[in-house]
Amino acid sequence: MNTADLGLPVAVPSTALFTDQYELTMLQAALRSQNADRRSVFEVFTRRLPEGRRYGVLAGTGRVLDAVENFRFDETILGFLRERGILDEPTLEWLAGYRFRGDIWGYPEGEVYFPGSPVMRVEGTFAEAVLLETVILSILNHDSAVAAAASRMSVAAGERPLMEMGARRTHELAAVAAARSAYVGGFHTTSDLAAGFRYNIPTVGTSAHAFTLLHDTERDAFTAQVDTLGRGTTLLVDTFDVTEAVRLAVEVAGPELGAVRIDSGDLLLVAHRVRQQLDELGAVDTKIVVTSDLDEYAIASLAAAPVDAYGVGTQLVTGSGHPTCSMVYKLVARAQSDDPDAPLVPVAKKSLGGKSSVGGRKWAARRPDENGVAEAEVVGTGEVPAELADHQLLVPLVTGGKVVAREPLDAARDRHIAARARLPLSATQLSRGEPVLPTEYL
């Protein structure tokens, strides 16, 4: 089954109301002032990374493409806007035929970014492009925050597998998006079946403490699970006494037991004791999985422990303390008139308090040093310098309203791992620091 062809089975049919009212009222005013058809360029960027982070991770691009395709105003939606008196009839008539027919360029999903990186550029008439602001930002801000946390956890975990287990800690639809973003950031599996169905992410899961408590004895619970799922299953051993549970687990499943899971206590100490006990019982190939409110720092602290895999929930789906990337969607250029051939004029907000922006339609490139390691994020307008031509970052995503850049999720995941590997080594330090690359403007 090609899940990319399924549409949005766990989302609403239209994304048109995933927006703020002022986008529609701006449209109405622009139609009335006869400026709605001016060719315009909007860019998505962040002015700063979350405090202490060295790089950002772009995630959600594929979901943006779905959202743009499903941005349609059907009769039910138009009726809602009419009943509320939000828009006049000419604007409602215009929305009835809305389709985004412009172009979207962006960093490919999984790529890293830095302050000022134009991670997405939306080009079209003002009317068609302004409507996409909130839905694009809501996707990219959430998904990129989760992917950045996942990337840091992936670095901390090294070669050990990571399982996403955060569905119960966030909104049911956000959980699906979070699982997708975690996969892009380097996780291997998810416990969320909707994410597995929608995005073909490998799924995992066996049992919780409730299953043990259901049975009269822990032995009965382990026996039922092994009889059902086989000796390769993972048994949860911290419901009562860990040492006794490990003994029972090996007695029931034999040395072929797949894994034991520890979900509480001093994980470093308990993992060492469990590994020793398993080895003494002959279960030398039985793996140890740890869960229990892990973040990248806790994972790093377990690097020397005999742990084989990690399950992460709350800290992952909340961006490990930074649930948004503070991305913005700003008009950076617009045509001098509604003539399709009118030249573009750079525009920018000038503001106190660090909220100014840089005008002009931009390109971006990542300049490498003589060893192929990235040394700067270069952002400019006009012609791209010849020496940077082969290092440009933006690629076409939508051309003439048609999506041209759909790809398997594994491609974004592989891209992220490769992009991270090309950064200076200090990028993977968990300690607080400045962005690992400076942003240079030309």
Residues 274 and 330 reside in one and the same domain:
no
- Domain annotation covers residue 137: no
Say if residue 343 is in the same domain as residue 371: yes
Does residue 145 lie within any of the structural domains?
no
Q: Check residue 217 and give its pLDDT.
A: 98
pLDDT in the model for residue 2: 43
For residues 221 and 236, is the Cβ–Cβ distance under 8 A?
no
Residue-level pLDDT at 9: 46
96 assigned to some structural domain: yes
Residue 303 belongs to a domain: yes
Residues 94 and 183 in one domain: no
User: Which of 297, 319, 341 marks a domain boundary?
Assistant: 319
Q: For residue 282, what are the domain limits?
A: 157-319
Residue that is last in its domain, among 285, 319, 353: 319
What pLDDT score was predicted for residue 356?
75
On whether both 206 and 295 belong to a single domain, the answer is: yes
CA distance 273 to 243: 8
Query: Do residues 315 and 331 share a domain?
Result: no
Is-contact 102 398, C-beta < 8 A? yes
Q: What's the number of domains the chain is made of?
A: 2
List of the chain residues with pLDDT < 70: 1-13, 352-353
**Residue-level pLDDT at 10:** 45
355: helix, strand or coil: coil
The CA distance from 260 to 379, in Å, is 50
pLDDT recorded at residue 159: 96
What was the pLDDT predicted at 61? 98
Q: How far apart are the first and last CA of the chain?
A: 47
8-state DSSP, 299: H
- In order of 68, 183, 218, 247, 277, the CA distances from 280 in angstroms are 58, 36, 21, 10, 5
Last residue of a domain, one of 286, 319, 352: 319
Are 292 and 172 in the same domain?
A: yes
Asked if residue 151 belongs to a domain, the reply is no
Per-state percent for the chain, helix, strand, coil, to nearest 5: 40, 20, 40
CA 221 to centroid of chain Cα atoms: 37
pTM, two decimal places: 0.94
For residue 12, the model assigns a pLDDT of 52
Residue 262: CA atoms inside 13 Å, Cβ hemisphere, count?
26
Residue 108 shares a structural domain with residue 197:
no
- Cα separation, 180 vs 164, whole angstroms: 9
310 and 372 inside one domain = no
| Residues 166 and 312 occupy one common structural domain | yes
How do residues 303-337 score in pLDDT, each as one tens digit? 999 999 999 999 999 999 999 999 999 999 999 99
> Are residues 233 and 276 located together in one domain of the fold?
yes
Specify if 225 maps to a domain: yes
Q: What is the CATH number of the domain that holds 176?
A: 3.20.20.70
Give a yes or no: residue 136 inside a domain: no
The sign one gets for the Cα dihedral 58, 59, 62, 66 is negative
- CA pair distance 254, 282, nearest whole angstrom: 9
Q: Which two tokens stand for residue 135?
A: 């839905």
Give the β-pairing of 344-346 and 374-381: unpaired
Q: Does 94 share its domain with 170?
A: no
Residue 41 sits in a domain of what CATH number?
A: 3.20.140.10
Long-range residue pairs from 417-422, CB within 8 A, at least 24 positions apart, any chain: 417/186, 419/110, 419/111, 419/112, 420/55, 420/112, 420/151, 420/155, 422/366, 422/368, 422/372, 422/373, 422/374
Q: Is residue 148 in some structural domain?
A: no
DSSP code for 229: H
- Model confidence over 111-162: pLDDT tens digits? 999 999 999 999 999 999 999 999 999 999 999 999 999 999 999 999 999 9
Packing angle of the helix pair 218-229, 242-253 (nearest 10 deg): 40
Indicate if 378 and 428 belong to the same structural domain.
Answer: yes
- Going edge to edge, which strands form the sheet with 39-46? 344-346, 327-335, 39-46, 120-125, 103-106, 395-399, 402-403
